[in-house]
Structure 1
Amino acid sequence: MTIRAFDFAHQSTTANPKHVESLVKFFESGIKQPDHYGFGVEIEHLPIRKDTGKAVTYAEPHGIRNVLQALTQYYDPANEYYEDGHLLGLGKPGISVSLEPGGQIECSLGVLKHADDLDALYSEFRRDLDPILDKFGIRLVNFGYQPDTSYKEIEIIPKHRYYAMQKYFGRIARFGFCMMRASASTQVSIDYFSEQDAIDKLRIGTAIGPILAWFFRNTPNFEKEPNPYPLLRQEMWDWIDPQRTGQLWGLYDDNYDWEHYAVDVLTTPVFIADLSHTPEYTGDRPVFSAPYDDAATLYPDRELNQAEINHIISTHFNDVRLKNFVELRSWDSLPIARAQRLTEIVSNLFYTKSEFEGLLSYFDGLTNLDVREAKADLQAHGADAHPYGQSLDFWREFLHAEGTLDNEPGDPLRPDFFQA
Structure 2
Amino acid sequence: MTIRAFDFAHQTTVPNPKHVASLVRFFESGIKTPDHRGFGVEIEHLPIRKSTGKAVTYAEPHGIRSVLQALAQFYDPTREYYEDGHLLGLGRDGIAISLEPGGQIECSLGVLSHADDLEQLYTEFRRDIDPILDRFGIRLINYGYQPDTSYKEIEIIPKSRYHAMQKYFSHIARYGFCMMRASASTQVSIDYFSEKDSIDKLRIGTAVGPILAWFFRNTPFFEKETNPFPLLRQEMWDHIDPQRTDQLWGLYDDNYDWEHYATDVLTTPVFIADLSHTPEYTGDRPVFSAPFDTAADLYPDRELNQAEINHLISTHFNDVRLKNFIELRHWDSLPLPRAQRLTEIVSSLFYDRSQFEGLLSYFDGLRAVDVREAKADLQAHGADARPYGQSLEFWREFLHAEGTLDTEPGDPERPEVFQE
Corresponding position of 1:324 = 324
Spell out the pairing of 1:312-391 with structure 2 (5 A cutoff). 312-391=312-391
User: What whole-Å deviation, never above 9, does each CA across 1:261-300 have from its counterpart, x for those lacking one?
Assistant: 0000000010100001101111100000000010010000
1:215-364 → structure 2 map (5 Å cutoff):
215-364=215-364
SS in 2 for 1:140: strand
- Indicate the residue corresponding to 2:119 in structure 1: 119
When the two structures are superposed, what TM-score results if normalisation uses the length of structure 2?
Answer: 0.98
Does structure 1 retain, via aligned residues, the 8 Å contact 2:51–2:418? no
Deviations 1:99-137 (A, max 9, x none): 000000000000000000000000000000000000000
- Say which SS state the counterpart of residue 114 (structure 1) adopts: coil
Q: 1:186 and 2:173 equivalent?
A: no
* Residues 52, 418 of structure 2: 8 Å contact kept: no
Per-residue displacement from partner, 1:360-399 (whole Å, max 9, x unpaired)?
0000000000000000000000000000000000000000
Matched letter for residue 228 of structure 2: P
Per the alignment, residue 97 of structure 1 pairs with: 97
Question: 2: CA distance between counterparts of 1:243 and 1:163?
Answer: 20
- Give unmatched runs, 5+ long, in structure 2: none
Give yes or no for contact 1:172–1:240 (8 Å, CA) kept in 2: yes
Letter aligned with residue 345 of structure 2 = I
Q: Give SS of 1:330's match.
A: strand
What does 1:137-156 correspond to in 2, within 5 Å?
A: 137-156=137-156
Could you say what secondary structure the match of 1:91 adopts? strand
**What's the offset of the Cα at 1:410?**
3.6
CA distance in structure 2 between the partners assigned to 1:170 and 1:341 by the alignment:
36
- Per-residue CA deviations over 1:138-195 (Å, capped at 9, x if unaligned) read 0000000000000000000000000000000121100000000000000000000000
Q: What residue is the counterpart of 1:49 in the other structure?
A: 49
Output the CA distance in 2 between the equivalents of 1:150 and 1:414: 16
Q: Which whole-Å CA distance do the structure 2 matches of 1:153 and 1:414 have between them?
A: 19
Following superposition, the deviation at residue 409 of structure 1 comes to: 1.2
Instruction: Name 2:85's counterpart in structure 1.
Output: 85
Describe the SS at the equivalent of 2:321.
Answer: strand
Q: Secondary structure at the match of 1:207?
A: helix
The alignment partner of 1:101 has SS state of coil
Supply the distance in 1 between the matched residues of 2:315 and 2:413 (Cα, whole angstroms).
36
Q: Is the 8 A contact 2:245 2:317 kept in 1?
A: yes
Judged with a 3 Å threshold, the aligned counterparts in structure 2 of structure 1 residues 47 and 36 are, in CA distance, closer, same or farther, namely same
Helix, strand or coil for the counterpart of 2:376?
Answer: helix
Task: Look up the SS of the partner of 1:162 in the other structure.
Answer: helix
- What SS does the corresponding residue of 2:242 show, helix, strand or coil? coil
| Aligned-pair Cα RMSD in Å | 1.2
Taking a change above 3 Å as real, the CA distance of residues 415 and 116 of structure 1, as seen in their structure-2 partners, is: farther
- Structure 1: gaps (5+ residues): none
Distance 1:226-1:26 versus aligned 2 partners, 3 A rule: same
For the 8 Å contact 1:141–1:419, the answer to whether it is kept is no
Cα shift readout 1:65-97 (whole Å, capped 9, x = no counterpart): 000000000000000000000000000000000
CA distance in 1, matches of 2:287, 2:78: 22
Q: Is the contact between residue 100 and residue 106 of structure 2 (CA under 8 Å) also seen in structure 1?
A: yes
Contact 1:175 1:240 in 2 (8 A): yes
Amino acid at match of 2:158: P
Q: Distance in 1 between matches of 2:418 and 2:191?
A: 34
Q: Is the 8 A contact 1:139 1:418 kept in 2?
A: no
Query: Structure 2 counterpart of 1:213, which letter?
Result: A
> Does residue 75 of the first structure (1) align with residue 75 of the second (2)?
yes
1:170-181 equivalent positions in 2, closer than 5 A: 170-181=170-181
CA distance in 2, matches of 1:202, 1:13: 25
Aligned to 1:15: 15
Q: Distance in 2 between matches of 1:305 and 1:223?
A: 41
TM-score, normalised relative to structure 1: 0.98
Aligned match of 1:394: 394
Instruction: Work out whether residues 3 and 17 of structure 1, in 8 Å CA contact, stay in contact via their aligned partners in 2.
Output: no
CA distance in 1, matches of 2:419, 2:151: 22
Structure 2 residue matching 1:269: 3-state secondary structure: coil
SS at match of 1:47: strand
Maintained 8 Å contact 2:233/2:331: yes
Identical residues among aligned pairs (%): 84
SS at match of 2:148: coil
Quick one: distance in 2 between partners of 1:212 and 1:132?
34
**Which amino acid letter does the alignment assign opposite residue 55 of structure 1?**
A
Matched residue SS, 1:281: coil
Contact conserved, 1:140 with 1:419, CA < 8 A, in 2?
no
- Deviation string, structure 1 residues 234-286 (Cα, Å, up to 9, x no partner): 00000000010001011000000000000000000101000011011111000
8 Å contact kept, 1:335–1:419: no
Whether the aligned pair in 2 keeps the contact of 1:94 and 1:121 (CA below 8 Å) is yes
Alpha-carbon distance between aligned partners in 1 of 2:416 and 2:208, rounded to the nearest angstrom: 27
Q: Does structure 2 conserve the Cα–Cα contact (< 8 Å) formed by 1:140 and 1:418?
A: no
Q: How many pairs are equivalent?
A: 419
Decide whether aligned partners of structure 1 residues 3 and 309 sit closer, same or farther in structure 2, where only a CA change above 3 A counts: farther
Q: Give the equivalent residue in structure 1 for 2:405.
A: 405
1:62 maps to: 62
1:22-37 alignment to 2 at 5 Å? 22-37=22-37
